[in-house]
């Protein structure tokens, strides 16, 4: 039984790795991809997503463009991390495939309502599209089996000292999704920053004959080219880890905690994970409410996840269509 999923992406180096993984995993039924501004502009996200799907032979998967900016603030990209084109300036052949004519919100609604069974949503980007969907067509929540989102942190941030990029980019959208009552798994920086592919594996991939493996090696190696000093930021599977966590939940240690999104001040975009085991005075005196319960990923079996990622990429379920 394959798990039906829809990915929401801001492709993005590690979104590309997640797309390759999802397209090649035999137990995932990739029903559609929705795009949103985040790591790079919406136009780049759509172009990058289509190019990656062509590469992995997934031209049949519908791709739709969604929000060009967050609900309130302007779009602020991460070109310094993902390259000017958002995809490490790899030079993948541009896709000539048609983009779905529907807005991402409409594609999500149609895919969800037409499916005979509930679908899992995996968001690897700011959650603008999903928030718009939930506000526009709240009835579709019944057709969403759960949401696995890359975003947030129970510890440090990256976009700010305390906020992770995807939540920081559109905090109101994240708050809408967290408050939706949906079953939620947060794959945040606490695990995202751990899953590093060994340098020798990256070199092996970059020299592989299969264009999918070769692209994966080049994507994984991009940050090293930037001369980043922080070794832990290099060679991350990144967003692909959230998809790995979906297919192999045993590799991730989660705990269910209340999580709230900060919307104001210097901590805007922070996900406050309330890990207290006693009743706090703020609750006793009615000064705060508890946030929605979220399964928060706090630990990961790194070698096993890297192994799953590499083995899956090496499984050519679909023919690679273009060479680099």
By CB under 6 A, name the binding residues for ligand BDR.
12, 14-15, 39, 78, 81, 124-125, 150, 158, 164-166, 238-239
Our finding on whether 8 is near Ca ion (CB under 5 A) is no
Nearer of residues 22 and 140 to ligand BDR, judged by Cβ? 22
124 near Ca ion, judged by CB under 5 A? yes
User: What does 295 interact with, of ligand BDR, Ca ion, none (CB < 5 to 8 A by kind)?
Assistant: none
**Packing angle, helices 171-178 and 128-136, rounded to 10:** 50
Q: d(Cα 212, Cα 203) in Å, to the nearest integer? A: 14
Residue 125 interacts with Ca ion (CB under 5 A)? yes
Q: Please check whether residue 162 is in contact with residue 134, taking contact to mean a CB–CB distance below 8 angstroms.
A: no
Rule CB under 5 A: say whether 130 interacts with Ca ion: no
Q: How far apart are CA 64 and CA 101, in angstroms?
A: 7
Nearest approach, Cβ of residue 7 and ligand BDR (Å): 11
Alpha carbon distance 294, 216 (integer Å): 31
Closest CA to 103 of 60, 137, 144: 137
Would you say 43 or 323 has its CB closer to Ca ion?
43
The stretch among 20-28, 118-126, 140-148, 245-253 that binds Ca ion (CB under 5 A) is: 118-126
Contact partners, residue 87, CB within 8 Å, separation at least 6 = 11, 12, 13, 16, 40, 44, 48, 51, 52, 219
| Closest distance to ligand BDR from the beta carbon of 303 (Å) | 22
Residue 54 partner contact from Ca ion, ligand BDR, none using kind-dependent CB cut-offs of 5 to 8 Å: none
> Scanning the structure block, which residue is given the tokens 């980007």?
125
**Least separation, in Å, of the C-beta of 216 and ligand BDR?**
15
- By beta-carbon proximity to Ca ion, the closer residue of 188 and 291 is 188
Q: Could you tell me which of 261, 294, 220, 282 has the C-alpha nearest to residue 13?
A: 220
Taking the least distance from each CB to ligand BDR, the nearer of 239 and 262 is 239
Q: Round to whole Å and give the CA distance between 31 and 115.
A: 10
**159 contacts 168 by C-beta, under 8 angstroms:** yes
Closest approach of ligand BDR to the CB of residue 151, in Å? 7
Partner from Ca ion, ligand BDR, none contacting 81, C-beta within 5 to 8 A by type: ligand BDR
Nearer Cβ to Ca ion (187/257): 187
Residue environment code for 209-229, b if the CB has 16+ CB neighbours within 10 A, otherwise e: eebbbbbbbbbbbbbeeeeee
Q: How far apart are CA 24 and CA 14, in angstroms?
A: 15
- Contact between 15 and Ca ion by CB under 5 A: the answer reads yes
34 binds, among ligand BDR, Ca ion, none (CB under 5 to 8 A by kind): none
Nearer to ligand BDR, 61 or 240 (CB): 240
Site string (166-205) toward Ca ion, x via CB under 5 A: ----------------------------------------
Query: Should residue 151 be labelled a site residue for Ca ion when binding is judged by CB under 5 A?
Result: no
Identify which of 139, 165, 140 has the alpha carbon closest to the alpha carbon of residue 152. Answer: 165
Q: Which residues contact Ca ion (rule: CB under 5 A)?
A: 10, 12, 15, 124-125, 239
């Amino acid at each position: 039984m394959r798990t039906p999923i829809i990915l929401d992406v801001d492709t993005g180096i590690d979104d590309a790795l997640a797309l390759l993984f999802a397209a090649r995993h035999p137990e995932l039924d990739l029903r559609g991809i929705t795009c949103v501004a985040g790591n790079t502009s919406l136009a780049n996200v759509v172009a990058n997503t289509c190019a990656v799907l062509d590469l992995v032979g997934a031209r049949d998967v519908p791709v739709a463009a969604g929000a060009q900016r967050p609900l309130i603030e302007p779009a602020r990209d991460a070109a310094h991390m993902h390259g000017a084109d958002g995809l490490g300036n790899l030079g993948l052949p541009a896709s000539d495939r048609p983009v779905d004519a529907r807005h991402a919100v409409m594609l999500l609604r149609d895919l969800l309502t037409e499916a005979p069974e509930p679908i899992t949503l995996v968001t690897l980007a700011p959650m603008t599209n999903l928030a718009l969907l939930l506000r526009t067509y709240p009835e579709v929540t019944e057709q969403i089996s759960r949401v696995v989102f890359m975003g947030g942190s129970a510890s440090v941030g990256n976009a700010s000292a305390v906020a992770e990029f995807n939540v920081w980019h559109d905090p109101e959208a994240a708050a809408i999704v967290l408050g939706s009552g949906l079953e939620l798994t947060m794959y945040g920086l606490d695990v995202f920053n751990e899953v590093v592919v060994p340098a020798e594996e990256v070199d092996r991939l970059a020299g592989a004959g299969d264009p999918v493996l070769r692209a994966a090696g080049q994507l994984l190696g991009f940050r090293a080219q930037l001369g980043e000093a922080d070794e832990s930021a290099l060679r991350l599977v990144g967003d692909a880890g959230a998809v790995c966590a979906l297919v192999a939940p045993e590799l991730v240690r989660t705990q269910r905690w209340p999580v709230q999104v900060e919307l104001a001040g210097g901590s805007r975009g922070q996900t406050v994970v309330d890990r207290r085991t006693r009743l706090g005075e703020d609750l006793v005196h009615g000064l705060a409410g508890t946030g929605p319960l979220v399964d928060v990923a706090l630990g990961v079996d790194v070698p096993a996840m890297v192994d799953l990622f590499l083995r899956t990429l090496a499984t050519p379920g679909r023919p690679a269509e273009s060479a680099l």
